[in-house]
Amino acid sequence: MPFIFKTFYAKEETKLFLFLMKNLNISQAKAQKMIDTKKVYQNNKPIVDKKATIKGKIDILLFEPHSKGLKPIFETKEFAIFDKPSGVLVHPRNRTTPYSLLDEVRRCFGKDANIIHRIDKETSGLVLVSKNRKTEKILKTAFENKKVKKGYLALAKGQISSSIFIDEPIKKNRDFSNIRLKVLIDSSGKKAQTIIKPLKYFPKIDATLVEALPLTGRQHQIRAHLFHVKHPIVGDPIYGIETKYAIKYLDKELSKKDRISITGASRLMLHANWIEFNFKNCSYKIFSKIEFENNFINYLKNVT
């Protein structure tokens, strides 16, 4: 488990934040954040006062990465790119999350390495990571300024014969009383645009392999947009199915067999296939090494 308690001793009375800075080699801001997020304990109780003075034994909750051997497919001295398998979280959800991509990132490149952007747990494919905080800031700014382009592959239900430009605003759902979708198409939402290009139709399963090009970066954008044009992604357990089944999935009550029967697959058939950006006057366009089409064809043979 990546989050574990480690015991430290303060021989003399000292300010807690100074003790953390010295012993963990972190900044004052990071030390104070650890106190704010209740990661420092004494006598089995969290210390919440940032001005606290300590002496004696304290226990600190630290992230200790656990590797499963996943390595980046491309790297420079300042950043790297991982090909994330479906089913792996990008970040740990909480302190009990047993494994996430962050484990591999920190194991490979140290505690200052970080993940630049997110993809869903069930989405496979490329994730960009920084090896240091300076690079992290540069790359995150590039995302914020829409200087990073990404291309996805998706297996969408039904036949799509020509390209579709979807220009529908998306807003986060704040009312879960009737429906538990994370985002909704709504005129009061934020601008969201996606280009959908059909690549290959599979009549036996009535589904089309498409390339999805998000021009904006809203949460669940491709999923919500394809659902909106009546071509939900195969395997999507939230968008494009009856609410009662989405609720069962979110409550972890939908069996694998039922999910396959209802959605067409036991995983979301969405893949982050390429990423393009500029870094320090060098242009990069990196493609995933996962053969998504062969992957889902073989997968569907096994579940149908």
Task: Give me the active site residues, please.
Answer: 120
CA atoms of 207 and 264, how far apart (whole Å)? 10
Rg of the chain on CA atoms, in Å: 22
Nearest to 20 by CA among 5, 43, 39, 1: 39
Cα–Cα distance list, 233 to 56, 64, 77, 158, 216 (Å)? 56, 36, 37, 10, 19
Cβ atoms 63, 98 nearer than 8 A:
no
Sign of CA dihedral 139, 144, 148, 149: positive
CA atoms of 238 and 217, how far apart (whole Å)? 19
Instruction: Name residue, tokens 């998000």.
Output: 214
